[in-house]
């Protein structure tokens, strides 16, 4: 959302105001970049205090409402209905909809991958309302990311191998499969350490599984890490274990940084890593994921080839391209110049 607002401002031709929760990370980033912002109390998902602010913006100059998560879709859909404005919604996950609701009423639903679009169609959203706009990253900024020095932080030898993962510790990221893949490679790669940047409700269960597998000294849960791309920049291989994934921007970061990627083929991940830009394994298959990691660590020529293909592929997934495509969606429904 922050990157989209920033890139739309660079493109010009659109006046935008982001309505978001006061004190949120998004609000701070937008304020720091001098982007138009209206902060509101937003203490729960469907907080009714959001509606007056959105309606006030629409009364002044708003031509359409663009909502960016499930709760915002309900609030934004109500505001658009009351004001008679066009309504655009972005779907970022490949979970099935609990109910179509305002997703079905949106003039356009932006899906961030073909996988997300397919789920929306299955759930009854009219195909003619769906537009695929891949999420993008700030490519030049990511490529300039410095290393975190996880080896130094963890007291590892300077020549230790590092497999990195960046993802919230939630069920659909399936870190249990990552742990089981790590267990399979312990004797094959004695110097291999696994580092995970992210926090979430599955941490305690993962810590128990880590102990059961005897991986306490080899599998490191770093918690929240500011600028998590710095973890990927430190790695010999980046590993994504998701069982479901809308697209996977942390994988895009690794691709931009020149780190070879082994990943499940869940959701939009297969779109990112097609044509040899990474090695793919079936979701929830620790043996297949472990073998993909091993191939990249053992075969330097293969690793170089995937990195070269990923470097070309990631050019399709920039924040600038994302913003241009979203602006085209806006212009198809509203009287922008």
List pLDDT tens digits, range 76-126: 999 999 999 999 999 999 999 999 999 999 999 999 999 999 999 999 999
Per-residue pLDDT, averaged over 177-186, amounts to: 98
Mean local confidence (pLDDT), 307-333 = 95
Task: For residues 292-313, give the mean pLDDT.
Answer: 98
**Does 32 score more than 50 pLDDT?**
yes
Is a pLDDT exceeding 60 seen at residue 144? yes
pLDDT, residue 211, reads 98
**Structure-block tokens of residue 40:** 């509101």
pLDDT recorded at residue 266: 98
In the chain, what are the domain boundaries?
A: 2-136+318-331, 140-316
Q: Residue 15 pLDDT > 50, yes or no?
A: yes
pLDDT of residue 337: 44
Rounded to two decimals, what is the model's pTM? 0.94
Two tokens at 180? 């089981």
Token pair, residue 181, equals 């893949």
* Closest of 123, 287, 307 to residue 232, by C-alpha: 307
Query: What would the mean pLDDT of 252-266 be, rounded to a whole number?
Result: 98
CA distance 94 to 92: 7
The answer on pLDDT for 222 being more than 80 is yes
Nearest-angstrom CA–CA distance, 39 and 42? 9
Rounded CA separation 139/32 (Å): 20
Handedness of CA 188, 190, 191, 194 (dihedral sign): positive
The pLDDT score that the predictor gives to residue 332 is: 86
Alpha-carbon gap, residue 113 to 97, rounded angstroms = 16
Residue 334: predicted pLDDT: 58
pLDDT over 80 at 280, yes or no: yes
CATH number for the domain whose boundaries are 140-316: 3.40.50.2000
Cross-strand bridge partners of residue 163: 194, 237
The topology (CATH level 3) of 2-136+318-331 is Rossmann fold (3.40.50)
Q: Is the pLDDT of residue 335 over 70?
A: no
CA neighbours within 13 Å on the CB side: how many for 49? Answer: 11
Confidence of residue 336 (pLDDT cuts 50, 70, 90): very low
184 and 214 Cβ atoms separated by less than 8 Å: no
Return the number of other C-beta atoms located less than 10 Å from residue 45's C-beta: 12
**Alpha carbons 216 and 219: distance in angstroms, whole number:** 6
Residue 44 has pLDDT above 90, yes or no: no
Q: Is the pLDDT of residue 162 over 50?
A: yes
Residue 39 · residue 22 · CB < 8 Å:
yes
- pLDDT, position 60: 85
Q: Over 70: is that where the pLDDT of 254 sits? A: yes
Instruction: Say whether 140-316 and 2-136+318-331 share the same fold.
Output: yes
Check pLDDT > 60 for residue 175.
yes
CB atoms within 10 A of CB 156: 17
Both tokens assigned to 207: 């810590």
Q: Which residue has the tokens 């050019």?
A: 315
The predicted structure's pLDDT at residue 13: 86
């Amino acid at each position: 959302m922050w990157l989209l607002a920033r890139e739309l401002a660079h493109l010009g031709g659109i006046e935008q105001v982001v309505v978001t929760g006061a004190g949120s990370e998004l609000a701070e980033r937008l304020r720091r970049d001098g982007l138009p912002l209206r902060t509101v109390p937003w203490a729960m998902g469907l907080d009714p205090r959001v509606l007056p602010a959105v309606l006030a913006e629409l009364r002044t100059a708003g031509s359409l409402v663009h909502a960016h998560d499930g709760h915002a879709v309900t609030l934004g859909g109500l505001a658009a209905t009351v004001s008679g404005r066009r309504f655009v919604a972005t779907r970022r996950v490949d979970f099935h909809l609990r109910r179509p609701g305002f997703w079905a009423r949106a003039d356009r639903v932006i899906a961030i991958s073909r996988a997300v679009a397919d789920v929306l169609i299955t759930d009854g959203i009219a195909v003619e309302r769906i537009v695929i706009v891949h999420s993008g990253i700030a490519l030049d900024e990511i490529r300039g990311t410095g290393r975190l020095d996880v080896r130094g932080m963890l007291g590892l030898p300077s020549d230790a191998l590092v497999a990195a993962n960046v993802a919230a510790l939630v069920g659909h990221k399936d870190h249990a499969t990552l742990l089981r893949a790590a267990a399979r490679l312990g004797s094959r790669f004695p110097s291999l350490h696994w580092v995970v940047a992210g926090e979430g409700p599955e941490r305690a269960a993962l810590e128990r599984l880590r102990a059961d597998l005897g991986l306490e000294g080899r599998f490191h849960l770093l918690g929240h890490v500011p600028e998590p791309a710095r973890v990927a920049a430190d790695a010999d291989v980046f590993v994504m274990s998701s069982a479901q994934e809308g697209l996977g921007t942390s994988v895009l970061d690794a691709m931009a940084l020149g780190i070879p990627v082994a990943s499940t083929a869940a959701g939009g991940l297969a779109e990112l890593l097609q044509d040899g830009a990474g090695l793919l394994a079936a979701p929830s298959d620790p043996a297949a994921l472990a073998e993909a990691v091993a191939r990249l660590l053992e075969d330097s020529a293969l690793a170089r080839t995937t990195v070269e293909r990923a470097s070309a592929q990631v050019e399709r997934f920039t924040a600038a391209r994302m913003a241009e495509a979203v602006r085209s969606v806006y212009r198809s429904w509203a009287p922008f110049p």
